[in-house]
A and B are shown apart, each in its own frame.
Chain A
């Protein structure tokens, strides 16, 4: 019965995500009727030659929002279970900041490093930055038992990397500085046709690796010692969590900027809605909810005529949810 309800939730969120994807294709500053959109998606032409590019652009950003939002939510959920802290997430723990530092090193590093290294350089630098912070956190987590203290350490990493980025600003050219600032505002826009599909496939493939985490996560909810007694290989699970979360966060951060709040807020909502403790169900629901929230945020950004940056919208949606979580935790003494 409980499972049926959760399966309905899964289907409901799936339908909602696809409806939002459709809306993101339809809504925009340029009004294109639905029939023309379908024609264009089928390879047809329209009265205005720019419309096919407009629809392609809307589709690409929708795909990026779908997969990027899902990936962030998934990372957030895994990290919250792993650190046993509902406020953990790629942003709070400094992982996004690590990725930002990697990207900043390439963009602001001078002598046209970004053009020299290209996208591959950006992605590699972002992944190295994100994984670096995650590994440091893991080392420190063995020395600190309090998860709140660990969060504070994560915040300190965030401040530290921000300071390093500020140092890089001193030598950066005006155009590099502007490029980095715009990247920092976050956006699902910018990938062309092929890149958008690569991003989607890449993120989905890495996300699928979380299948190997279902059993460890189910056990970790009950505590590390209990998980160990259930035969979970904690060392291997920890390594897998580091790699999957680090790469997902880094890839999304590199392409979309440090998108805040989705990684923390979505798992909270899912935890509230879904009764099951089985991550076989929780993981896909979280991914789809992250996708839906990211698409909703992107629609809001586009309907505001880009006056609102993506991070402003995600903060407006996410921050109240986090406050609600803290109050709820305080009332019930709830733990993950």
Chain B
């Protein structure tokens, strides 16, 4: 049978974002995320047509995904959206950074007769748990009848780190009927927030989920945490600052670990800044002044949809009036949608960002590079980019998980920060991480001001300690270091590498989330919560650190509490159980 050795890159897609917001237990989610994008050339070489299943094998496992044709050209590279399916082939090794290698993985791909398994089958096969998703599927919450129409303006969108705050939401009878100005994913989040809702706390009894009262669920959850020797409190990036503060207090009380999703997105960025510093600017400063925008390993048209219009390439600023006043450069392993609109596209070999950055630092200093090409990029092109950078009046690099997740990790980030610091000898240059979840920047900030560290904080000794090689979600779980977990506003089972996910399924888990997500399927206790930024107000931080007040635009479903309220109850109960 034919097979191809390709480089596997996993990442975000619009469909994955939209379907994830709608509900991850639906078949449509599986349909959109259990896929692998292959270049037409590679499809031909494999002899499979788009839509056929293929077997993806790495050193860490194998999984069947549906092959689809890639939109941009990237022969030799296979792209798969983050999902419980593709995670099965991802390694849990983090090289001490806490960050698994989600990108640039050697993979063998071949045609197969097998089909793509359903989520239920996947959970059975890999986590050894029987779940009947049809029983767990959420329900659509109906709204009130009739009622006044109300247009709420300047709503802050609780989806990505862009935190667009100009969204208009039309509410009728307590239901969101229309969303204006938001992107596709943001709109989906507002419009679909009532769909697939889990409304009842659930506790697993004799292997089956049973509906229980909130009091009972809190009691069960508190018992799991209070009886745990070393619990992990994970998630936190899609909830408010206020909820984060309570989460940190709970971790301190329990003597456990609190980690936010930074450890699997921009953890290396944090480590890079710890090492050498940073050069930042708010998005408005960039919009108003930057005549050079570089997207490096970031995919704004799929992950931060309004970024280009509001803040970067296409945005109208005070001194830079739009696309025509700007140069746009894209550095990526594949031709992303943004690459098509760039003045210069630099295709870097997967996993060789560090080498390219080093060469650029040399070129910026006018040093001779002896090789003909570095990281697959001809040296002339490197000198060209260096010249573009040095002669810009104000340059901005937006780097994404394409850089942080590649091998090299924090070393790569330190190098890119050094490049930007170097460039400030000639001109103005800043960089900004493209943070994913709407409040992941806030989760880092509140963790910093309460613990001194942005993520991966241990309280075993009743004061905060930090070491990404020990106290981050992937390390703790894959090493089997924790004996219970509280997951708030996150879905690690859908995003963590195989071993970590497997071990999560072996310990008692409490999930607090507005929707019954993939992680909830393996939970001991599930407590539904309201959506921050839709049903509950709270503070959140944009990717550049600007803090905004999220609005409450509609009431939560009856009986559903906010993360803040649930965590307060948990704190109280744990204190009681621990006799404090």
Same complex for A and B? Answer: no
Residues in A lying within 8 Å of B, measured CB to CB = none
